């Protein structure tokens, strides 16, 4: 009886969402600690006193290709699961040459492994869409990023303080465990019919929003690449601290953002994160390379990266609803992250080879901060009319205040009943149906009934259209 009960609890816990997060986290810990500019790779390179430029940048470029290309080949859960089960043993195989003296196999293994790793990252998008309801994916991606970085820290510590080969062996063990759990992943697609075709106007809006988001990601993650090539090497003398503290502020920021109450305006925190990023590079230029300076610089920088990574990961998670193949959307979006790191790394390497002559790289990083700050309002505007109720977007609350608050909105609603006017006002404040139900002390189904009536009276289909109607102050209410 005890065994049956325990097995039942385990079955409930390892649902599709949790199982996919566990599998992807185990795989990602290997990728982050080894393949993607990981500490295991750098420890091995330093051990043999090698120049890692070709291997590192070749691997990043290959990962970019894998992320973009995967959506053209993987279109179902069955195909994604098959990819995982074939890729994880392959990753174990490409890790083996690194136990031996350096050879051309190192470069080949790094590039081929990175290519396939990019595909595995993109393919996880199909499980994100299937296993987590819309508007809850921010928590799922936060769990993935938190768990994978915790495991990465443990592998880094083993590689730096024990042996790089021990760290590599443990990372391969992560892959083996990931393979075992991947066997339990569901392979049947939830949807038996294709997603409905979107109107051309909405398709264009989706493409435009994704393109602008990708541009934003590329620009801001240039600072990530600069961090790898410029900031981290500057503190190489305090490995006792950098080996474990590096990702701690990142994890804390993810945890805080994941668990913020709904009423907290996360969009304002994006501006706080930009300020943190700017201060981190100012601190890097003005402070020495002591442990205290590292704690200040790294806390500000990685805390900012945590806020922004969760921002675009969760935005991409919501965008999966608008395309029949989530792998393609997820892969293209995350490829922008890799491209930004690649460009930032190249720029950082160029500054390193320049031997301190010319502009300080931190000044370039500050310029990137200024550009992203200018882009943020435009990005917010584009996304807000596409993604309703996302935690980071505030278009509805801003529109509500412009219209004079709840009372002001009610006056403009014309033929709506008093209760419908209340619901419409709360809709414009960005509140979800569940939040509206709690605030008005009615059921969620009742809220849905009122929303349906509101949309019917205005002959609209979404909150975005309701906003447009409210902003056109000269337009008369429907008769």
The pLDDT value given to residue 21: 97
Distance CA 462, CA 333 (A): 25
Looking at residue 412, its pLDDT comes to 56
pLDDT digits (tens, 9 = 90+) for 48-61: 988 888 898 999 99
Name the pLDDT band for 352 (thresholds 50, 70, 90).
Answer: low
pLDDT score at 479: 45
Q: pLDDT, tens digit, for every residue of 374-394? A: 888 888 777 776 665 566 665
Count of CB atoms within 10 A of residue 397's CB?
A: 16
Higher pLDDT, 235 or 8: 235
pLDDT tens sequence across 4-21 = 555 545 555 679 999 999
Q: Is 169 buried (19+), middle (13-18) or exposed (0-12) by CB count in 10 A?
A: middle
In a 13 Å sphere around the CA of 86, the CA atoms on its Cβ side amount to: 10
Q: Report which of residues 6 and 84 the model is more confident about.
A: 84
Q: How confident is the model at residue 442 (pLDDT cuts 50, 70, 90)?
A: confident
What CATH number belongs to 202-388?
1.20.1250
Measured torsion, CA atoms of residues 22, 303, 246, 212, in degrees rounded to the nearest 10: 70
Which is more confidently placed, 308 or 461? 308
Residue 288 has pLDDT above 70, yes or no: yes
Answer for the pair 244, 300: CB distance below 8 angstroms, yes or no: no
Cα–Cα distance measured from residue 143 to residue 156, given in angstroms and rounded to the nearest whole number:
20
**Do the first three CATH levels of 11-185 and 395-471 match, i.e. the same topology?**
no
Across 66-93, average pLDDT: 96
Read off the pLDDT of each residue in 273-280 and give the average, rounded to a whole number.
Answer: 92
Q: Whole-number mean pLDDT of the chain?
A: 84
* Confidence check: pLDDT of 172 > 70: yes
Q: How far apart are CA 304 and CA 346, in angstroms?
A: 22
- Give the pLDDT of residue 475: 45
Query: Which pLDDT score, from 0 to 100, does residue 50 have?
Result: 87
Nearest to 369 by CA among 273, 463, 250: 273
Confidence category of residue 477, pLDDT binned at 50, 70, 90:
very low
Would you say how long the chain is, in residues?
Answer: 479
Question: Which tens digit of pLDDT belongs to each residue from 462-473?
Answer: 766 676 666 554
Higher pLDDT, 109 or 420: 109
Q: Highest mean pLDDT: which of 180-189, 357-366, 416-425, 442-451? A: 180-189
Burial class of residue 408 (count of CB atoms within 10 Å of its CB; 0-12, 13-18, 19+): middle
Domain boundaries, the chain: 11-185, 202-388, 395-471
| Rg of the chain (C-alpha set) | 24
- The DSSP element (H or E) to which 134 belongs, if any, is none
Sign of the CA dihedral 85, 86, 87, 88?
Answer: positive
Gap between the Cα atoms of 239 and 215, Å rounded: 34
Does the structure show a pLDDT above 90 at 289? no
pLDDT at residue number 476:
47
Q: From 140, 12, 28, 37, select the one nearest 84 (Cα to Cα).
A: 28
What is the reported pLDDT for 406? 46
Residue 28: pLDDT band (50, 70, 90) is very high
Q: Which range is most confident: 153-162, 191-200, 312-321?
A: 153-162
Report which of 222, 150, 197 is spatially closest to residue 367, judged by C-alpha positions.
222
Q: In the 8-state DSSP scheme, what is residue 32?
A: I
pLDDT surpasses 90 at 209: no
**How many whole angstroms separate alpha carbon 7 and alpha carbon 1?**
10
Give, for 49, the enclosing helix (H) or strand (E): none
With beta carbons less than 8 A apart as the criterion, state whether 254 and 306 touch.
yes
Q: What average pLDDT does range 314-318 have in this prediction?
A: 90
Q: What is the pLDDT of residue 353?
A: 58
Cβ-contact 94, 113 below 8 angstroms:
yes
Torsion on CA atoms 366, 368, 374, 375, rounded to nearest 10: -150
Total-model pTM:
0.79
**Alpha-carbon distance 231 to 19, whole Å?**
36
CATH number of 395-471: 1.10.10.10
Of the options 1.20.1250.20, 3.30.200.20, 1.10.3720.10, 1.20.910.10, the CATH number for the domain spanning 11-185:
1.20.1250.20
């Amino acid at each position: 009886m005890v065994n049956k009960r325990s097995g039942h609890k385990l079955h409930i816990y390892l649902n599709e969402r949790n199982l996919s997060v566990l599998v992807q986290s185990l795989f990602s810990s290997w990728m982050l600690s080894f393949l993607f500019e990981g500490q295991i790779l750098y420890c091995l390179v330093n051990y043999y006193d090698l120049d890692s430029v070709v291997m590192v940048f070749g691997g990043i470029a290959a990962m970019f290709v894998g992320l973009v290309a995967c959506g053209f080949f993987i279109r179902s859960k069955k195909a994604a699961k098959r990819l995982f089960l074939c890729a994880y043993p392959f990753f174990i195989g490409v890790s083996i040459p690194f136990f031996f003296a350096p050879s051309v196999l190192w470069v080949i293994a790094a590039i081929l492994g990175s290519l396939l790793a990019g595909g595995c990252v993109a393919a996880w998008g199909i499980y994100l869409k299937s296993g987590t309801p819309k508007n809850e994916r921010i928590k799922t991606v936060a769990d993935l990023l938190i768990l994978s970085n915790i495991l990465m820290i443990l592998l880094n510590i083993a590689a730096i303080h024990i042996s790089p080969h021990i760290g590599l062996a443990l990372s391969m063990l992560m892959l083996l465990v990931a393979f075992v759990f991947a066997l339990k992943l569901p392979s049947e697609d939830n949807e038996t019919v294709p997603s409905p075709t979107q109107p051309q106007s909405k398709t264009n809006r989706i493409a435009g929003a994704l393109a602008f988001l990708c541009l934003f990601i590329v620009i801001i993650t240039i600072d990530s690449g600069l961090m790898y090539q410029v900031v981290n090497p500057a503190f190489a003398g305090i490995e006792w601290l950098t080996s474990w503290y590096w990702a701690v502020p990142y994890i804390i920021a993810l945890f805080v953002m994941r668990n913020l109450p709904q009423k907290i305006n996360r969009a304002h925190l994006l501006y706080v994160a930009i300020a943190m990023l700017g201060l981190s590079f100012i601190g890097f230029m003005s402070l020495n390379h002591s442990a205290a300076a590292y704690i200040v610089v790294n806390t500000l920088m990685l805390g900012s990266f945590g806020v922004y990574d969760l921002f675009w990961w969760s935005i991409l998670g919501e965008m999966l609803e608008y395309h029949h193949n989530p792998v393609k959307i997820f892969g293209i979006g995350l490829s922008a992250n890799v491209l930004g790191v690649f460009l930032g790394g190249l720029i950082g390497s160029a500054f390193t080879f320049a031997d301190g002559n010319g502009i300080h790289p931190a000044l370039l990083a500050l310029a990137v901060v200024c550009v992203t700050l200018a882009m943020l309002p435009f990005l917010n505007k584009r996304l807000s009319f596409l993604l309703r109720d996302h935690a980071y977007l505030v278009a509805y609350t801003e529109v509500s205040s412009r219209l004079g608050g709840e009372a002001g909105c009610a006056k403009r609603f014309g033929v709506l009943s008093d209760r419908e006017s209340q619901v419409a006002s709360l809709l414009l404040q960005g509140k979800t149906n569940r939040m509206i139900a709690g605030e008005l002390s009615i059921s969620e189904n009742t809220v849905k009934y009122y929303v349906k009536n509101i949309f019917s009276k205005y002959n609209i289909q979404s909150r975005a259209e309701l906003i447009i109607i409210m902003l056109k102050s000269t337009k008369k209410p429907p008769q």
